[in-house]
Structure 1
Amino acid sequence: MQGVTVKVVTLLEDPFVMVAENILGQPKTYKGFSIDVLDALAKILGFKYEIYQVSDSKYGSQLPNGSWNGMIGDLINKRADLAVSAITITPERENVVDFSKRYLDYSVGILLRKPEEKINIFSLFAPFDLAVWACIAAAIPVVGVLIFLLNRLQALRSSATQNAPQGQPANGVVGSGSLQSAVWIVYGAFVHQVALRIVMGSWWLFTLIVCSSYTANLAAYLTVSRMDHAIRSFQDLARQMEVDYGTVRDSAVYDYFRNKGTNPLEQDSTYAELWRTLSRNNGQDFSVSSPSEGIRKAKKGPYAFLWDLAVLEYAALTDDDCTITVSGNRFSSKGYGIAMQHGSPYRDLFSQKILELQEKGDLDIMKQKWWPRTGRCDLNSHASAHPDGRSLKLHSFAGVFCILAAGLLLACLVAGLEAWWKSHRCREEAPKEVTQSRVHTEDTATLYFKDPDTSPDLVELQYTQL
């Protein structure tokens, strides 16, 4: 091929074919993985090429009248000698054009926006349903009232038989004679009493079961919440109903799902379900007209774009915000090749040189250039859960701190009301005669005098015993 100039038709598809920086007055130049492969073949075989973009921006599919559009149509109509881009080798295309050996494996991937972590400050209450929490809250006063009634009944019996004080049962339970004290026992961790063992034993057993169930469910809830629920396969995509999905209409991927979904011998019903969604309203509902439109739609979300895995990986690697991720099967019997006219003398020559590039590792070097393994964006950020665990963040405990703050504020409010109430009652019930209020350790006492004739105010007098 020394000195031969071939005409090449192409289609822009990152990172296979992209427009390089153009110099004013100079012909348009291109770059990309497919362009690197073409340049390597041109250097080895010694040919030159002229390249142009296909007019309809399509790879090539058969029309109802039997003709072909896109780059395949240009090859059939002999407007071009070669077609170089992210063009896949399919049986339908091989019937009308020739392909070289594949220079890159092909598989279909899923591009979608990374799931955002939902922040719930009351997530620690999630192990129990609202009805369970309500029943637990209702059980506290019920048990407290029952303890109060049983204590009162036992106190009356003890008073009648042993002349015991009304407020102190004979069994030694101190401070449980009032409803307030009985309810407070429910909150206690240890109760010093002999009677009411059945009630308190039942309550302790109830508390033990509730605490154990809460601990177990909380651990399971936090484990599940840490696991990633991203869509990883076509089966996951077909089962869910929250995310719409589509591909490019009248493309090789579109034909792939149509053939798999309408094949009666296909045992996996996943493809039939996917095809029903993709073909809804002749593909107008969810499918798009170009790969760039599908990528933009996936970035906005919620939308899953089905397309060539290599193209989707490059889009995820070069995303400015690293908000999209890729999943899919990386094992496929198909691949990308260089298309040429049917019966072209270049087929065997190109295939041989492509195999040589594979053997020397040149194709791997080119691939690493356009799909770096390490970069700003991580393609495998959703591939697995965090097996080493994660520490609980502040928002997980925010609800508990809010409840603690509310309890502290309520306690301060109640303390203020109690102080005001006791002060008000002391003013109303103060005796007219002199009363000794308190005696200090240094033999100091405070006397209060009330003069009903002159002033209702109290007059304080301190004296020290000589």
Structure 2
Amino acid sequence: MGLPEIVLAALASLCFNATCVDHYSDTISRSRYQVLKDDLQHENFIITTLKNGPLSGYIVENGTLIGTGVAFDIVKILQKEYKFSYTLVKPDDDMFEPSDGKNGGVKEMLINQKVHIAAAFLPIQYNDVVEYSRGLDTAQWVVLMKRPKESATGSGLLAPFTATVWTLIIISLLAVGPILYIVVFLRAKICKDDDDIVFSLPACMWFVYGALLKQGSTLNPRTDSSRILFSTWWIFITILTAFYTANLTAFLTLSKFTLPISEPRDIVKKQYKWVTNKGNGIVEEINESREYSSGDGKSLYEQIGNPKIETAVEEEVILSDFVTRRNLMYIREKTVLETLMYEDYKRKIQANVSEKDRCTYVITDFPVCTFPRAFAFAPGFKYKPLFDFTIQHLSESGITAFKQREFLPDTTICPLNLGNKERRLRNADLIMTYMIVGGGLIISTVIFIIELILYYFNLNNRCCGKAEFNNRERTDPLFKRKNENNNIITFGNAFKPAKDFVTPPPSYHMLFGPPPGKKGTDYTKKTINGRDYWVINDKNGNTSLIPQRAPSALLFQFTN
């Protein structure tokens, strides 16, 4: 005796559910129940079904149609309980209702009394024209798609922050420099203190950029307002870089894989195309919701739209052709899609496919829609109370749900996060680094070409007498240029146009040579406590130490 038979035998003597009163439903008495049960033993029903994966279907053996799937497991339980017989016939158009609105399909067969029962998991939609049994279950329609190679949160250097955060950071970088300059300038103008220092706009912009890269600065604000502004920016940058570093580390090691859609409305919003099998219940629900949609974006039609393709091919063809090759989404019942994924996974194991390549597909963790499902009866079906009584207990006892997942594993099939123990960096994670390096090289090359053009243009002007180059000092031009109020201007010349701003040159006259000194000075390089120093002995016998700084510290220093 199997599990369904044990449950039915127990129900024959005990009703343990609160919805069942005195062993039978309130709508059926003992005598009426017995009369219907006796009459049912002599009935031969005409049953039709729909092909719906492991839920329902039919095959032909020796010229006879044989029902398959969970639906006919339930039919066999009913047949064993009530001793009726049945004949299975093919459905018209192999769908419940034609999508073009024409007559036909299982719905038309029920209305015209061509069949008595539609043994399939059908969404309860047409109570006005056909009768439905008690609910078999409440099914979820989900999305199956080809597993993305990268998470929807992005990869590489941009992943820790969203696009909105990056936009605000760029805006702040462009805005803080002028704000610093304006505040310092207004304070100097209003207070009219000759000792106030007004930093030039390029110097303020360079400070903002240097703070982002954790570089030093020679700007020394003297007023409290400017000091608070400068320190506020430093604190902001410190917090920002700390969050970025922490999020980047977490993303590269512990990030959760996410799909490009997080809710049904993303399908229409991001213009994804999807496919489903011909005659699927979700298409009928979409057509019905389109007629009653109010334009608020809450109807099923407004959220996911119409399917791009409705096909009658086998599920394996849909996976290989439409999902894998054309990259379409596949919307169908969750149980059916899980069975398809499990069968595909087992085929890959038999083909000795590597473990990391076995989970080709992934299912969304949210339902697109949820419908109650049941058998459908012809209008006025006499034995509906009997069938409802048994179907209700099969559902409430968990047998229907058990039969749907009888051949599926208890664990999640190809989950969204595969649980890899290690996360190795790939080229995709470093693509932004390559783009930054490449972009910097391209920009520097363009600027170098422009400098060459300007140099030769000025050289031609000098040869023609249009420019005076003979009196220009050419000796050591890189380090002879003075910082004559280019970066710092006092209030007295604050209203005069500043000279051309020059990016800060190195702080030494020579990168690795000894520091400049008077004639007769003795220089010796020594390592003291792990740091390199120049030991200077002057002619008076005095000794001083000058630290030899790292080359990176030369980038943002000023030489006066």
Q: TM-score, normalised by structure 2?
A: 0.47
Identity of aligned residues (%): 16
Equivalent in the alignment of 2:331: 306
Equivalent in the alignment of 1:139: none
The one-letter code sitting in structure 2 at the alignment partner of 1:309 is K
Whether the aligned pair in 2 keeps the contact of 1:248 and 1:254 (CA below 8 Å) is no
The one-letter code sitting in structure 2 at the alignment partner of 1:310 is T
Equivalent in the alignment of 1:433: none
- Alpha-carbon distance in 2 for matches of 1:113, 1:4: 48
1:118/1:112 Cα in 2 relative to 1: closer, same or farther (>3 Å)?
A: closer
Equivalent in the alignment of 2:311: 289
Pairwise CA distance, 1:351: 0.6
Q: Identify unmatched segments of 5+ residues in structure 2.
A: 1-39, 174-213, 221-231, 346-357, 435-560
Whether the aligned pair in 2 keeps the contact of 1:124 and 1:218 (CA below 8 Å) is no
Whether the aligned pair in 1 keeps the contact of 2:300 and 2:369 (CA below 8 Å) is no
1:350/1:222 Cα in 2 relative to 1: closer, same or farther (>3 Å)?
A: farther
- Alpha-carbon distance in 2 for matches of 1:125, 1:266: 36
Equivalent in the alignment of 1:349: 386
Equivalent in the alignment of 2:367: 329
Alignment equivalent of 2:263, drawn from 222, 230, 233? 233
SS of match in other structure, 1:60: coil
SS of match in other structure, 1:345: coil
Equivalent in the alignment of 1:57: 94
- Alpha-carbon distance in 1 for matches of 2:95, 2:260: 31
Equivalent in the alignment of 1:10: 49
Pairwise CA distance, 1:84: 1.2
Whether the aligned pair in 1 keeps the contact of 2:44 and 2:87 (CA below 8 Å) is yes
Query: Are 2:109 and 1:74 equivalent residues in the alignment?
Result: yes
Equivalent in the alignment of 1:151: none
1:298/1:232 Cα in 2 relative to 1: closer, same or farther (>3 Å)?
A: farther
1:294/1:209 Cα in 2 relative to 1: closer, same or farther (>3 Å)?
A: same
- Alpha-carbon distance in 2 for matches of 1:361, 1:190: 67
The alignment covers a number of residue pairs equal to: 325
1:125/1:390 Cα in 2 relative to 1: closer, same or farther (>3 Å)?
A: farther
SS of match in other structure, 2:303: helix
Pairwise CA distance, 1:105: 1.4
The one-letter code sitting in structure 2 at the alignment partner of 1:306 is I
Query: Are 2:136 and 1:99 equivalent residues in the alignment?
Result: no
1:364/1:289 Cα in 2 relative to 1: closer, same or farther (>3 Å)?
A: closer
Pairwise CA distance, 1:343: 0.7
1:75/1:208 Cα in 2 relative to 1: closer, same or farther (>3 Å)?
A: closer
* Cα root mean square deviation, aligned: 4.9
- Alpha-carbon distance in 2 for matches of 1:207, 1:308: 55
Alignment equivalent of 1:40, drawn from 70, 77, 82? 77
Please show how residues 198-347 of structure 1 align to structure 2 within 5 Å: 213-221=240-248, 223=250, 226-227=255-256, 228-241=258-271, 243-247=272-276, 252-263=281-292, 265=294, 267-269=296-298, 271=300, 273-274=302-303, 277-278=305-306, 286-290=308-312, 292=315, 297-300=322-325, 302-320=327-345, 321-322=358-359, 323-329=361-367, 332=370, 334-347=371-384
- Alpha-carbon distance in 1 for matches of 2:399, 2:151: 45
- Alpha-carbon distance in 1 for matches of 2:367, 2:421: 29
Pairwise CA distance, 1:345: 0.6
1:221/1:337 Cα in 2 relative to 1: closer, same or farther (>3 Å)?
A: same
The one-letter code sitting in structure 2 at the alignment partner of 1:14 is G
Q: Which whole-Å deviations, capped at 9, do the CAs of 1:113-148 have from their partners, x for residues lacking one?
A: 2222379xx93587799x99xx9xxxxxxxxxxxxx
Equivalent in the alignment of 1:365: 402
1:126/1:373 Cα in 2 relative to 1: closer, same or farther (>3 Å)?
A: closer
Whether the aligned pair in 2 keeps the contact of 1:16 and 1:85 (CA below 8 Å) is yes
Query: Are 2:149 and 1:116 equivalent residues in the alignment?
Result: yes
Pairwise CA distance, 1:347: 1.4
Pairwise CA distance, 1:328: 3.3
